[in-house]
Amino acid sequence: MKILQVCPRYYPHIGGVETHVRSVSQRLQKAGFEVEIYSTDAPPGALKQEILDDIRVTRFPSISPHDTVYFSSSLRHALNKVEADLIHAHNYRALPMLFAARVKRQDIPLVVTMHLGFSKIGRWIYYIYDPIFGKKIFGRANRIIVCTPAELTEVPLLRGYEHKIAFIPNGVDLTEIDSYHLARRQPKTILDLLYVGRIERKKGIGTVIETVNHLKGLPVRLRIAGDGPDRRMFQGMVDKLGLNDVITFEGSITNEKLYPIFSTSDVFLLLSEFEAYSIALAEAMAFGLVPIVTRVGGNPYMVDDEVGYVVDYPANTEEVATILKRLVSDTKLLNQKSQKTRQYALNHFDIETQMQRIIEIYESVKR
C-alpha cells in the first residue's frame, strides 16, 4: 500500500507535527508500506526533493506569513496528479489538508489528523473557515484522528462527524527515551525546570520566567528549548531581571541534544493559552518529569493531580512558585510524582501501540 503523507512542514523543521509525521512515516516504511511525503517550505540548506529515512520527500514553495496558512499552488497541482492508495493529511489549521481533501481522484481514501495548537492568527478566521472548508475536509475524510476530546470543543463542527473520529494520542518512542532515562538519575541538589516548544507569548513563557524570579535564592534553574518570534524579547526579560545565571535558552535542537536535557530535568512547565496535545509534554512525562500545566485544551486529559499539577490560565506566578517551593523541599513527593508520571506515559503514550491503531485505520478504509 502506498501512503502519501501531506503536511505543512517536515524534518529538518522541528515541531510537534513534524516530529509526529516523521515518526509515523519511519515506522510505516519499516512495516512494509511505501511512504512518500508532500510538504511545503524547505528550511535553509534542505533539498526540494530528497530521500530521508528511505522515504521520498518533496517540498513545495508556499506563502506562509508568520508560519501560518501554507498556501501552495504547486502542491495543489501535484496532489491532483498523485497516484497513491491512501492520503494522510496533517494539521487542520493549514491549507495542505484542504488541498488533500480536494484532489481530483476522489477514489483515494483520505485520513486526516487534526494537530490543533493555538491559532496564530486568531480564532475569528475559523468562523469562516470551519463551515466552508471544514465541511469539505470532514465530509471527504474517511477517518478523522484527534488526540483528545478538547479538539471537539475547539472545532464544534467535528461533532457532526463523530462516526468518523478515532481518538489516538500522538505517541512517543519509549525505547529511545529509555536509553536516556534509565541512566539519568544521579544525586543532585538543584531542581531543574524545563520548557520545550515554540517561544512566543501565548506559550506562557513570560509567566514561567516571572515564576523563577519568585524563587531567587532557591536551588532552582530553568532551561528553555526551542525558538520563535519572541525569543529575543524573553532573553531581554531574563537579562533585566538578573536571571542569566539560572535561566538558559538552548535554542532549537534535535532529540540527540534535547533528550539528555530531558533526562536530567525534574519539572516540565507548560503554562500556555491552548494545547490540544503537546508531544513535548508527552515526552517529558515519559522521562518522569513532573508536569505543571494550565487547565486548557488537552492538558487536563494528560495530567491530573496524581501525576502533576493543573493550574488555571493565565497562571498565577505565586501559585506556581508555591508548588515549586514544595517540590524543592520535599524530595520524596518529587520522586513519587515522577514515578507516577512515567508510568502513566508508559501506559498511554507508546508510539508502537498508536501505530497499530493507525495501520488498522488504513486497512479499514483502503479500496
pLDDT at site 28 = 98
The three grid cell numbers given for residue 281, joined into one nine-digit string: 509534554
Nearest Cα neighbor of 299 from 191, 203, 210 is 203
Distance, CA of 264 to CA of 341 (rounded, Å): 15
53-62 pLDDT, tens per residue?
999 999 999 9
Q: Taking the CA atoms of the chain, what radius of gyration do you get in angstroms?
A: 21
Task: Tell me if 223 sits within 8 A of 194, measured CB to CB.
Answer: yes
CATH class of 174-348: alpha beta
Tens of pLDDT, residue by residue over 279-333, are 999 999 999 999 999 999 999 999 999 999 999 999 999 999 999 999 999 999 9
Over range 338-352, report the average pLDDT.
Answer: 96
Domain 2-171+350-365 and domain 174-348 have a common topology = yes
What pTM, to 2 d.p., does this model score? 0.92
- Fold of domain 2-171+350-365: Rossmann fold (3.40.50)
Out of 32-41, 62-71, 113-122, 128-137, least confident range:
113-122
Mean pLDDT in residue range 198-217? 96
- Tell me: pLDDT of 182 over 70: no
Query: What are residue 36's DSSP bridge partners?
Result: 4, 56
Strands 49-52 and 55-60: antiparallel
- Cβ pair 283, 305 in contact under 8 A: no
Residue 121 is predicted with a pLDDT of: 61
CA separation, residue 186 to residues 57, 125, 263, 264 (Å): 41, 49, 10, 8
In this structure, of 71-85, 176-190, 311-325, the range with the lowest mean pLDDT score is 176-190
More confident residue, 128 or 347: 347
User: What DSSP letter does each residue of 17-33 carry, written as one string?
Assistant: HHHHHHHHHHHHHHTT-
Using a pLDDT cut of 90, give the percent of the chain over it: 84
DSSP classification of residue 132: I
Q: What is the pLDDT of residue 42?
A: 75
Grid cell in block for residue 350: 507508546
Percentage of the chain exceeding pLDDT 70: 96
Q: How confident is the model at residue 183 (pLDDT cuts 50, 70, 90)?
A: low
Mean pLDDT of 15-36: 95
How confident is the model over 125-146, as a mean pLDDT?
A: 92
The answer to whether 2 and 84 have CB atoms below 8 angstroms apart is: yes
Q: What is the mean pLDDT of residues 27-42?
A: 95
The DSSP H or E segment spanning 57 is strand 55-60
> What does the domain layout of the chain look like in residue ranges?
2-171+350-365, 174-348
Contact between residue 39 and residue 9 where contact means Cβ atoms under 8 Å apart: yes
163 vs 285: CA distance, rounded Å = 31
**Distances 160 to 25, 146, 155, 320 between C-alpha atoms, Å:** 29, 14, 10, 38
pLDDT at 266 over 90: yes
Q: Which backbone phi and psi does 362 adopt, to 5 degrees? A: -55, -45
CA–CA distance, 337 with 332 (Å, rounded to integer)? 9
Q: Containing H/E element for 219?
A: none
Averaged pLDDT of the chain: 93
Q: Per-residue confidence at 109, pLDDT binned at 50, 70, 90?
A: very high
Evaluate if residue 186 carries a pLDDT over 80.
no
CA 158/CA 72 separation, integer angstroms: 26
